[in-house]
Amino acid sequence: MKLRPKMCIGISLAPTWLSGEGWRQPDSGIEGLYSSDFALDTAKQAEAAHLDFVFRPDANYLPLPVLEQSFGFSSLDATLLMASIARETARIGLVTTISTTFGHPYLVARQLMSLHWLSHGRAGWNIVTALQGHENFGLPAMPPSDARYTRAIEFAEVVRALWSSFPSEALLVDRVSGRYADTAQILPIKHHGAEFAVEGPMNLPRFPGPRIPLMQAGGSAKGVDFAGQVADLVFGMTPDIASAKAMRDQLSARARAHGRAPRDIRLLPGLSLYLGETRKEARALFLETHRRVDRMQRVERVLSVIGLDLSEWPDDRRILPSDLPQPSTSNWGRTHRERLRRIVETEQPTVAELLARPEILSSVHWQVIGTVDDAFAEISNWFEAGAIDGFIAVPGGARSSLDLTLKALVPRLAEAGLFRKAYRSATFLGHLQDEDETARTNPG
Nearer to ligand FMN, 220 or 348 (CB): 220
- Could you tell me the sign of the dihedral formed by the alpha carbons of 89, 71, 9, 431, in that order? negative
Residue from 9, 18, 217, 275 binding ligand FMN (CB under 6 A): 217
On the CB side of 418, CA atoms within 13 Å amount to 23
Residue from 125, 235, 286, 391 binding ligand FMN (CB under 6 A): 235
Residue from 8, 46, 59, 414 binding ligand FMN (CB under 6 A): 59
Does 12 contact ligand FMN by CB under 6 A? no
Of 433, 407, 435, which is closest to residue 419 (Cα–Cα)?
435
Q: d(Cα 16, Cα 18) in Å, to the nearest integer?
A: 5
Query: 108 vs 101, 189, 388, CA distance in Å?
Result: 12, 16, 30
Q: List the binding residues.
A: 58, 97, 149, 220
Q: d(Cα 286, Cα 288) in Å, to the nearest integer?
A: 6
Does 427 contact ligand FMN by CB under 6 A? no
Q: Are 7 and 413 within 8 A, CB to CB?
A: yes
Binding mask 166-205 for ligand FMN (x = CB under 6 A): ----------------------------------------
Q: Are 89 and 43 within 8 A, CB to CB?
A: yes
Nearer to ligand FMN, 270 or 276 (CB): 270
Residue from 21, 58, 359, 389 binding ligand FMN (CB under 6 A): 58
Query: 255 vs 45, 159, 189, 233, 331, CA distance in Å?
Result: 34, 20, 26, 12, 22
Nearer to ligand FMN, 57 or 201 (CB): 57
Residue from 99, 111, 119, 401 binding ligand FMN (CB under 6 A): 99
Does 220 contact ligand FMN by CB under 6 A? yes
Give the binding range for ligand FMN (CB under 6 A) out of 23-31, 174-182, 218-226, 321-329.
218-226
Nearest distance, CB of residue 103 and ligand FMN, angstroms: 11
Q: List the binding residues for FMN.
A: 58, 97, 149, 220
Does 250 contact ligand FMN by CB under 6 A? no
Query: 1 vs 245, 262, 270, CA distance in Å?
Result: 10, 12, 21
Residue from 200, 219, 396, 430 binding ligand FMN (CB under 6 A): 219
Does 244 contact ligand FMN by CB under 6 A? no
Q: d(Cα 20, Cα 231) in Å, to the nearest integer?
A: 32
Does 97 contact ligand FMN by CB under 6 A? yes
Q: Which residues contact 150 (CB under 8 A, 6 or more apart)?
A: 194, 195
Residue from 218, 239, 390, 396 binding ligand FMN (CB under 6 A): 218
What count of other Cβ atoms lies within 10 Å of the Cβ of residue 401?
A: 27
Nearest distance, CB of residue 430 and ligand FMN, angstroms: 25
> Per residue in 204-231, is it b (16+ CB within 10 Å) or e — as a string?
bbbbeebbbbbbbbbbbebbbbbbbbbb
Does 128 contact ligand FMN by CB under 6 A? yes
> Per residue in 53-62, is it b (16+ CB within 10 Å) or e — as a string?
bbbbbbbbee
Give the binding range for ligand FMN (CB under 6 A) out of 39-47, 105-113, 129-137, 259-267.
129-137
- Could you tell me the sign of the dihedral formed by the alpha carbons of 380, 382, 387, 391, in that order? negative
Residues paired with residue 54 on neighbouring β-strands, in sequence order: 11, 94
Does 10 contact ligand FMN by CB under 6 A? no
Nearer to ligand FMN, 180 or 332 (CB): 332
Nearer to ligand FMN, 334 or 357 (CB): 334
Residue from 16, 19, 119, 145 binding ligand FMN (CB under 6 A): 145
Degrees, nearest 5: CA angle 9-10-14: 155
- The residue at minimum Cβ distance from ligand FMN is 223
Note the residue count of the chain. 444
What is the size of the binding site for ligand FMN (CB under 6 A)?
Answer: 19
Contact residues for ligand FMN, defined by CB under 6 A = 57-59, 97, 99, 128-131, 145, 217-220, 223, 235, 237, 270, 331
